[in-house]
Structure 1
């Protein structure tokens, strides 16, 4: 028998404390991937999460009643025979109860206090409050409907400390969302105390007691908080440094470094969403992981070892959190990122899963509102997928070097784990997400590290910061290019059922993926074949069966809340009337219709929901002439459209009433409006819309832009014999319609371009009028992108694109 040596004298199984083996190789954690995962804390985390979720929706009294019932229910459990079952069941029940109590007590302080009470009365109050988080600009700075709620506003989270209203004064600490049309509110910083008056309105759930609609200018009391004063010069210096970076991708650098998205335009933001790259600009666990890895790498290079490394990592993590603002989402990202890094590189999944469960438990107890947070659910899901699946999948890909195997398995595991949550919440499945994350992975760390260095240096040496920012712009350019190109592909994302059915589909897909992926990744040829199939689906190299349908004459693109109409002029040629609010959606629609030539682009007026998608029309297509409204309002939109068209060398034409155009062999149209600019209480820009009466393959179509009743009546007065078979309903089905113009033109089919909106479009009154007149209605929010076809017997039928 061999006697064991002293503790630490010999390596166990040939593996030393630093991970090296006797043969010179390294233990990369693959042995840990074979060990049983420690799941003992998982029921605790799940029970606390579920309890907090339940508690947030009930009163404190109901929560206390649940506690009493739980105490009685634990009695029979304690008498059970199996000690382990008793312990696990009892602990889960206690954690569920604790979550309910914590959630109910936190919700009660928000839901049942004086702020919520006065909000129900829509009271006018004066408050002393503190800015909690950076203000956010919402809406469109270029405007949607000029007089509508799409105008820009600032949303600011405040904590009310004192409130006076309805003859009483209250001292409290209650969160609200302040809504202000004064864009100067964007300049407020966390910790700033202010005194302001306004009206309260109910918040309808959530972690705030009310919406506070500000009236008048705030009276600033003191300076912003210490953290904001310390970090704002760094953040402002970074925004100034990136000015040397040419192109829209400069906006990615502040977003990736400190989560500042204020410089990003809507097109890039949408591309990042479609490709699953929003985590790069939202201070996610990815940021934390990169910061920790970069700091630990530098620390090792300078010779730091042992217990000094965790101290350096902790100090760096605290500094990073302060720089990007210690908001709940940032703290959550710090915890999740630290767990993910430890799980993949240090501890292995056996110890990482308990760490994740403990982190979830602590976070939910500290902030039970996280139980309702979609971001929290996605963060936990992604982290769980990484720490559980990556070690096994990386081991399966032994035929690749470890860095490449990690580059493949990390985004795939995260996307697979998040699929049930994404389908339940959005009803969208992104095919582009995995390849996008794979392609940008090499560029993320350089962009973020160089950008962070630029931010740190900027208060001290502006020129050096500009150089670092310019260097960061190179990988940022690659990330932006990948996002915009992949997002524009016709197979970038697919629609699925939302809610419970979507969640069930997602769970089934996730389980199937977990079972199949190790088998696929183990075989190089099968892995390559799977990647090829993914690319084919993404690019839609094979056309969608039945789309576009033969004999189509007009297509209505689903671009959200906006208009985008396509009139077929010939093979791969079309007249496009309006481009919607989303360039990516517009581009995908035209690509799916196989349109490469646009002889005429008609922009009925310059509201964002009709023109912001112009780059999607220009991308990869020849555009002959752009026909635009005579009224260049909103002015900022008109200037932007002019720049886009000038860069593409597209001539611009302002049409006159009575102009007749012929395009190809199948389209003829006449301009009916505007005869004059109508100045009234209605929207001037809407009433200046270009209205055309078209014939496509002999079918009469009336395209109305957003004209409102005064313009509609003027058109009818000038064209008393006007009739049509198809009418594009003005202003997305708004209730502001002239009755004869709406349903008295003999139309058989009404087309409505509409998406999620707060305007009430389309109006029930409008839909009722169509039903009463026997007019069939097709709308994009219900039917998606669809085309109208002329059947052999000259009747009209609609065909929906199946995605």
Structure 2
């Protein structure tokens, strides 16, 4: 018998390696395009991150190396491969040098550094991206501004002296930060934008940023295909509203990458669980759609060419529906190469398709080299091609069924290969990502296919589309549940150094682990080291300084710029919650860390966004007796949301007024204010101060002493409490309105606290807390603790009055 055997792989050159498709069938792994793709990516990245001159020098060096090799050793096979790499490097260096230099010397770039105003005619390259802003005061959380990536068609710049200069555009990339009026535009539409120029971030091909003032002007009609895609996406979005809010936002996000309706809580939980990739369209979506099309073709007994053509049409249609984002384009190009191979009857080779897609996409758009999403997509696909098959075969040889082996190996390989880049970007390592992806995997295909079907059907018959989406509801609910439970696991993620060095360090660790696993003698040692790391690292992230402290009676949760306090009862796991912060994730994490499972009463001091935004998370998965409100139910949007949230959770609402008393074992509450209930809405229903002054003011009697909870009561409300003769004395004070300067010194003197808690967000733009208030407290001997510096803060009974403890690790400032 002649030829190669699995034990004796043929010598096919230095960049062709031996692999196994299964235990019997050998397969040559073609890596010939990989060095060229890596070199093109590297030189493009040098041009973007360093300078166009650096990229040009890289091209010159590559040409010099190529000429030297060509003159001396041009007959060797290995040299031919190096020549190809050098040639590709030189070509891409020339391309990126020209593009980066054009951007650097563009007139808009210098005008942006001067902060000049301009009028731009632009064409939208992508859907507007909503910019989420946290709720605060009378303003609800939402998306009142959008970011729009556009191509420049023409510009008119106004100088300081009032002169105008006109500039012709050639599709140069510009980023618009625009009002919400721009959110309804579609890619391909042209519009005129007016505003102030600002410098763009270094490292991509964006010429400038325009801070837009006003709505879009002179808007043109979108191309028919974009209009059709917009209609399909709108149809899916509206059909999904038949589901509960969280799955209703998840279905469009999973199917077409539309995250406009996705609650921030779900986004945060998916991030912690390692499921964020599901919220962006990638090759997985195309694989599911094409797989379904090919399955139908196979059932119809169609030939390879017919299957390739129909699958190609499905790819084109899905790319238009999902919009040509980096991950979608990469997946589409790769799928196109694979489908071409299928159509002409040649064997499919995924690795050359991936390398070829990288070369083509970087040639079309050099900016992709610096896009994290593009890098993650390529790395994940490479893991599935290179790593996952080996792991599947190894598991199968050890008796693991083929289906289970694939289910285990695919998410593990993708997570391992992408983890260094994820860590470099986020500084977090997820310990639950593999398990979470394993549990989520079965639900992704039905949601994707049913969502695409609903989008196609919606324009013709909305009720049918709604019925299809309702069928997709249970698997979407499962995905939300997996993300929530995975994110809630203690130590689900822990800190790791971010940046390039942190990513490189994790990559070294990952490679060392893989090498160690290949040798039986080192596996036991690796197991011991792994147990040691888990015992040493994870508990420090799960139990920070013994958190929660034993015997806590009050905890001020670190929820950012907002309020959320927890009052313990004598019953374990049972506590009263006062306010819920600006968003669900923070208060939910605080309650989970404290082990609170039963809440006899949730008190909302007033209905501003930074006090009611997390209510849904407080109610979710906990036994809640009632929600108590004060006398003023404004703003109307907040009152409506509270009623709807309470109704969905089947929790009753009750009203509290001055003089009411409530009691549980170990805890008594007295309602001190407002002493005079408002008889109607404030003169301006959106005004913050009247609503703040109508805050419920509570005094809690606890084993640590009296605790005065003041909501956001300001000057008029404090004066009313003082003039009413209320006994305000307390050992612990929750400082009014996040420590703002609207606090009377006489009010602080009447309370005479020994401990003051300030619930405030790091880096807030309101100047909270006021230095005057902090100095007034400290000068009187009060100990001041702040959530922006100390994280969650606990008060407990001490031998000589209230004692304090804090968790640390405060929430980072908003980006």
Match of 1:698 in 2: 704
1:596 aligns with 2:597: yes
From 195, 203, 215, the counterpart of 1:217: 215
127-136 or 250-259, larger mean C-alpha shift: 250-259
SS in 2 for 1:130: strand
Tell me the distance in 2 between the aligned counterparts of 1:365 and 1:768: 58
From 124, 129, 132, the counterpart of 2:125: 132
Asked whether the 8 Å contact 2:150–2:174 carries over to 1, the reply is: yes
229-238 or 498-507, larger mean C-alpha shift: 498-507
From 199, 203, 207, the counterpart of 2:200: 203
Tell me the distance in 1 between the aligned counterparts of 2:105 and 2:330: 27
Match of 1:19 in 2: none
Asked whether the 8 Å contact 2:138–2:688 carries over to 1, the reply is: no
Asked whether the 8 Å contact 1:558–1:780 carries over to 2, the reply is: yes
Displacement of 1:650 after TM fit? 3.5
605-614 or 658-667, larger mean C-alpha shift: 658-667
Asked whether the 8 Å contact 2:451–2:472 carries over to 1, the reply is: yes
Matches within 5 A, 1:31-180: 41-61=33-53, 63-64=55-56, 102-103=95-96, 105-140=98-133, 143-146=135-138, 152-166=144-158, 167-172=164-169, 173-180=171-178
From 182, 186, 191, the counterpart of 2:188: 191
Asked whether the 8 Å contact 1:627–1:653 carries over to 2, the reply is: yes
SS in 2 for 1:216: coil
Tell me the distance in 1 between the aligned counterparts of 2:641 and 2:39: 52
Match of 1:800 in 2: 807
Q: Structure 1 residues 517, 293: closer, same or farther in 2, change over 3 A?
A: farther
Deviations 1:646-689, CA, capped at 9 Å, x for gaps: 34444434443465554432555553557577779765544544
Tell me the distance in 2 between the aligned counterparts of 1:715 and 1:312: 74
Match of 2:358 in 1: 360
Tell me the distance in 2 between the aligned counterparts of 1:713 and 1:271: 43
Tell me the distance in 2 between the aligned counterparts of 1:447 and 1:562: 36
1:613 aligns with 2:614: yes
195-204 or 633-642, larger mean C-alpha shift: 195-204
Displacement of 1:794 after TM fit? 4.3
Q: Structure 1 residues 562, 39: closer, same or farther in 2, change over 3 A?
A: farther
Q: Structure 1 residues 654, 471: closer, same or farther in 2, change over 3 A?
A: closer
Q: Structure 1 residues 518, 654: closer, same or farther in 2, change over 3 A?
A: farther
Asked whether the 8 Å contact 1:567–1:575 carries over to 2, the reply is: yes
Matches within 5 A, 1:232-247: 232-245=230-243
Match of 1:390 in 2: 388
Using the size of structure 2 for normalisation, the TM-score is 0.80
Q: Structure 1 residues 554, 465: closer, same or farther in 2, change over 3 A?
A: closer
Tell me the distance in 1 between the aligned counterparts of 2:31 and 2:759: 50
Q: Structure 1 residues 308, 704: closer, same or farther in 2, change over 3 A?
A: same
Match of 1:624 in 2: 625
Tell me the distance in 2 between the aligned counterparts of 1:148 and 1:119: 32
Asked whether the 8 Å contact 1:237–1:455 carries over to 2, the reply is: yes
Tell me the distance in 2 between the aligned counterparts of 1:780 and 1:451: 42
Q: Structure 1 residues 390, 70: closer, same or farther in 2, change over 3 A?
A: closer
Using the size of structure 1 for normalisation, the TM-score is 0.81
Q: Structure 1 residues 580, 442: closer, same or farther in 2, change over 3 A?
A: same
Q: Structure 1 residues 664, 63: closer, same or farther in 2, change over 3 A?
A: same
Q: Structure 1 residues 406, 245: closer, same or farther in 2, change over 3 A?
A: same
Deviations 1:51-82, CA, capped at 9 Å, x for gaps: 33332244445654665677778899999999
Tell me the distance in 1 between the aligned counterparts of 2:621 and 2:370: 42
Asked whether the 8 Å contact 1:564–1:610 carries over to 2, the reply is: yes
Tell me the distance in 2 between the aligned counterparts of 1:417 and 1:577: 44
Asked whether the 8 Å contact 1:349–1:388 carries over to 2, the reply is: no
Tell me the distance in 1 between the aligned counterparts of 2:495 and 2:670: 35
Asked whether the 8 Å contact 2:740–2:770 carries over to 1, the reply is: no
Tell me the distance in 1 between the aligned counterparts of 2:205 and 2:299: 45
Q: Structure 1 residues 413, 779: closer, same or farther in 2, change over 3 A?
A: farther
Displacement of 1:389 after TM fit? 1.5
406-415 or 268-277, larger mean C-alpha shift: 268-277
Tell me the distance in 2 between the aligned counterparts of 1:739 and 1:55: 59
Tell me the distance in 2 between the aligned counterparts of 1:278 and 1:89: 38
Asked whether the 8 Å contact 1:50–1:99 carries over to 2, the reply is: no
Displacement of 1:194 after TM fit? 1.8
Match of 2:226 in 1: 228
Tell me the distance in 2 between the aligned counterparts of 1:674 and 1:389: 69
Structure 2 portions without partners, runs of 5+: 8-18, 159-163, 811-815
Match of 1:7 in 2: none
Deviations 1:29-57, CA, capped at 9 Å, x for gaps: 13699878655554444443333333224
Q: Structure 1 residues 491, 775: closer, same or farther in 2, change over 3 A?
A: same
Structural RMSD (CA): 4.7
Asked whether the 8 Å contact 1:340–1:387 carries over to 2, the reply is: no
Match of 2:13 in 1: none
Q: Structure 1 residues 456, 644: closer, same or farther in 2, change over 3 A?
A: closer
Tell me the distance in 2 between the aligned counterparts of 1:162 and 1:797: 62
309-318 or 28-37, larger mean C-alpha shift: 28-37
SS in 1 for 2:546: coil
SS in 1 for 2:214: strand
Asked whether the 8 Å contact 1:751–1:779 carries over to 2, the reply is: yes
Displacement of 1:319 after TM fit? 1.9
SS in 2 for 1:203: coil
Displacement of 1:772 after TM fit? 7.3
SS in 2 for 1:152: strand
Deviations 1:226-271, CA, capped at 9 Å, x for gaps: 3212323333333344455566423333333222233333333333
Q: Structure 1 residues 460, 688: closer, same or farther in 2, change over 3 A?
A: same
Tell me the distance in 1 between the aligned counterparts of 2:425 and 2:577: 33
Deviations 1:752-793, CA, capped at 9 Å, x for gaps: 445566626656957984897586655445544443444445
Match of 1:372 in 2: 370
Tell me the distance in 1 between the aligned counterparts of 2:677 and 2:83: 77
Tell me the distance in 1 between the aligned counterparts of 2:24 and 2:89: 31
Tell me the distance in 2 between the aligned counterparts of 1:598 and 1:486: 23
Q: Structure 1 residues 501, 112: closer, same or farther in 2, change over 3 A?
A: same
From 236, 245, 250, the counterpart of 1:252: 250
